[in-house]
Structures are given as structure tokens and as C-alpha cells.
């Protein structure tokens, strides 16, 4: 039901304009699937393991930096404060946005289907890495400056900054793939 408008639009194009026009408009029509929100059951099934993964490896990184931290599931405990890696912090929303951006960048900058696929698939590790970076920086701030420094404005700003870093990594990868292909 959520995606019926996209199928309806594809059917209208196919019926009114034929197969040739449908081939030409397949990418823009298919891109409309990114506007369809994931069903909650799918979102929850993806967000839970993702937030556990982010919490686990962020804590591992914090420990390697010499910070005293403990993890139980998606709860990260510092000596002064406790943080929860919530569904919103799982990075799934930024992953979906970065995936849409990766598809657009791949089709605008890459000629080879293989390089397009590499760029699109790489959106997943980039999104996870940058989200882990956000949790790590939040943990460092919590350790050295207290919980107040890691919450509020910084938490909101970090989400935007991390997505900007993810976009820059994606664009840099696109440039490398274009140069590598020559």
C-alpha cells in the first residue's frame, strides 16, 4: 500500500508512453521508492541489530582510547553517566538518506554498472562508520566534559555533522572510482 503510487506511476508511463519511455524513466521512477517509509516491523528488525553493532564497536574503540566504559546491550555506561544508543541513534535513517544520495551520485558520476554498484553498496559501511564516530565522540565528550557537553546542542549538531562527513566520504569515493576507471 505504501509503494502503490510508485507502481501506479510506472504503470501509467508504461500504458501511455510505451516500453521505450519506461526504460528512459526507470531510474527516476525507481528512485521514488526512497520516499516510501519502511514499515515499522522492518525498521525495527533492522534498527535493533544496527544499534547493538554500533554500541559494541563504539565501546571497543573507546576502550582502546583508554576510556573507562562498560556496555550492556545498547546501554553505554561511563563512571559519571549512562547513555542509551536508541533507535534514532542506530543510524538507519541516515543510512537510508545516504543510500538515496549514493544512488543519485552513482548514476550521475559513474558510467560503469560495476562502479555504480560499488558506490551504492559502500553507503552501508560509510553510514555505519560515521554513526559510530558520532557515538565515539559523544563518549569522549561525556568522559572528559560530563554528560551535559554530550547532550543537547552537540547531540543535534553531531547528527548533521556526521551526515556531512558521510556525504564527503561518498563524494570522495566517487571521485576515486572515476579516476581509477580511467
Q: Check whether 80 has a pLDDT greater than 90.
A: no
Residue 181's pLDDT band, with cuts at 50, 70 and 90, is: low
- What's residue 139's pLDDT? 86
Helix, strand, coil percentages in the chain from 3-state DSSP, rounded to 5: 80, 5, 15
- Residue 181 sits at φ, ψ, to 5 deg, of -75, -15
**Separation in Å, CA 154 to CA 114, 150, 162, 165:** 39, 6, 11, 16
Distance CA 62, CA 79 (A): 13
Q: pLDDT for 6-52, tens place per residue? A: 999 999 999 999 999 999 999 999 999 999 988 889 888 898 899 99
Q: Which is more confidently placed, 153 or 38?
A: 38
Residue 117's pLDDT band, with cuts at 50, 70 and 90, is: very high
Q: What percent of the chain has pLDDT over 90?
A: 56
**Dihedral over alpha carbons 168, 169, 174, 176 (to 10 degrees):** 120
Region 131-155: mean pLDDT is: 81
Q: Which of 71, 89, 93, 115 is catalytic?
A: 89
Residue 119's pLDDT band, with cuts at 50, 70 and 90, is: very high
**Pair 46, 92: CB distance under 8 Å:** yes
Q: Which is more confidently placed, 148 or 99?
A: 99
Catalytic status, residue 89:
yes
DSSP-assigned beta bridge partners for residue 72: 75
Catalytic status, residue 134:
yes
The pTM of the full predicted model, rounded to 2 decimals, is 0.85
Average pLDDT, the chain: 89
- What's residue 182's pLDDT? 61
**Dihedral over alpha carbons 78, 82, 85, 87 (to 10 degrees):** 180
Q: Check whether 81 has a pLDDT greater than 90.
A: no
Q: What percent of the chain has pLDDT over 70?
A: 96
Q: Check whether 128 has a pLDDT greater than 80.
A: yes
Amino acid at each position: 500500500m505504501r509503494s502503490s503510487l510508485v507502481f501506479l506511476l510506472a504503470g501509467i508511463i508504461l500504458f501511455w508512453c510505451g516500453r521505450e519511455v519506461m526504460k528512459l524513466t526507470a531510474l527516476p521512477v525507481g528512485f521514488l521508492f526512497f520516499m516510501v517509509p519502511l514499515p515499522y516491523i522492518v525498521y525495527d528488525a533492522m534498527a535493533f541489530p544496527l544499534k547493538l553493532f554500533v554500541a559494541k564497536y563504539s565501546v571497543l574503540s573507546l576502550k582502546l582510547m583508554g576510556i573507562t566504559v562498560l556496555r550492556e546491550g545498547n546501554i553505554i555506561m561511563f563512571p559519571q553517566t549512562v547513555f542509551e544508543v536508541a533507535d534514532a541513534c542506530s543510524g538507519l535513517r541516515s543510512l537510508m538518506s545516504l543510500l538515496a544520495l549514493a544512488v543519485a551520485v552513482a548514476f550521475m558520476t559513474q558510467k560503469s554498472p560495476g562502479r555504480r554498484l560499488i558506490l551504492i553498496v559502500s553507503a552501508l559501511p560509510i553510514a555505519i562508520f560515521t554513526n559510530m564516530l558520532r557515538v565515539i565522540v559523544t563518549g569522549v565528550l561525556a568522559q572528559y566534559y560530563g554528560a551535559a557537553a554530550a547532550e543537547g546542542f552537540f547531540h543535534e549538531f553531531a547528527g548533521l555533522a556526521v551526515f556531512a562527513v558521510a556525504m564527503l566520504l561518498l563524494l570522495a569515493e566517487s571521485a576515486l572510482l572515476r579516476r581509477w576507471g580511467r
